[in-house]
Amino acid sequence: MHLEGQHMCENDTNPDSDIKKEVDTLSSFNTGALKHKYLELYGVKSPKRLSREFLMQAIAYKLQEDSFGGMSRAHKRKLSALVRKFEKGEGISSPLKPLYKSGTRLIREWQGVSHSVTVMEKGFEYEGKQYNSLSAIAREITGARWSGPRFFGVD
């Protein structure tokens, strides 16, 4: 799973493709190289028991965050409030709906094919068609019932 914001530079280069290439090369890194890249990006050593897959996801997120920006202030405030509730021992009364910024691209590789979904104001766009849910797109891609957010790694 990869999240990418849409962004173009004045010199007509597309950072989306540069970041995608950099993220795609992560799978060729051995665990030692991934740990070094994590240290380079985050400024601290990776947790000892972090799986190779999770290391790649954390690095991909950080590369995209550095290039396209991180969470919005509103999301950070909401997350901080949830942490405070958790630290006080309070439960979260209702599940949070994911808030996707319009224009965000969700990229998932499935059976060797990269699939890109664009978040729209209302719903999602995949291969030129509008969908109301990520689950419908995941079903279209796999032919099976999936939780769309889980399939795209955003649950």
Read off the pLDDT of residues 85-113 as tens digits, 9 standing for 90 and up. 888 888 776 555 556 788 889 998 888 89
Distance CA 99, CA 121 (A): 11
Domain that holds residue 131: 105-151
- pLDDT averaged over every residue in the chain: 83
What residues pair up with 2 in beta bridges, in sequence order?
Answer: 107
Indicate the number of domains in the chain: 2
- pTM of the predicted model, to two decimals? 0.45
Position 52 in a domain: yes
Q: Indicate the angle between helix axes 52-68 and 31-42, nearest 10 degrees.
A: 30
> How many percent of the chain have pLDDT more than 70?
84
Tell whether 2 is covered by a domain.
Answer: no
Hey, what are 128's tokens? 């030129």
Residue 14 maps to a domain? yes
- DSSP classification of residue 27: G
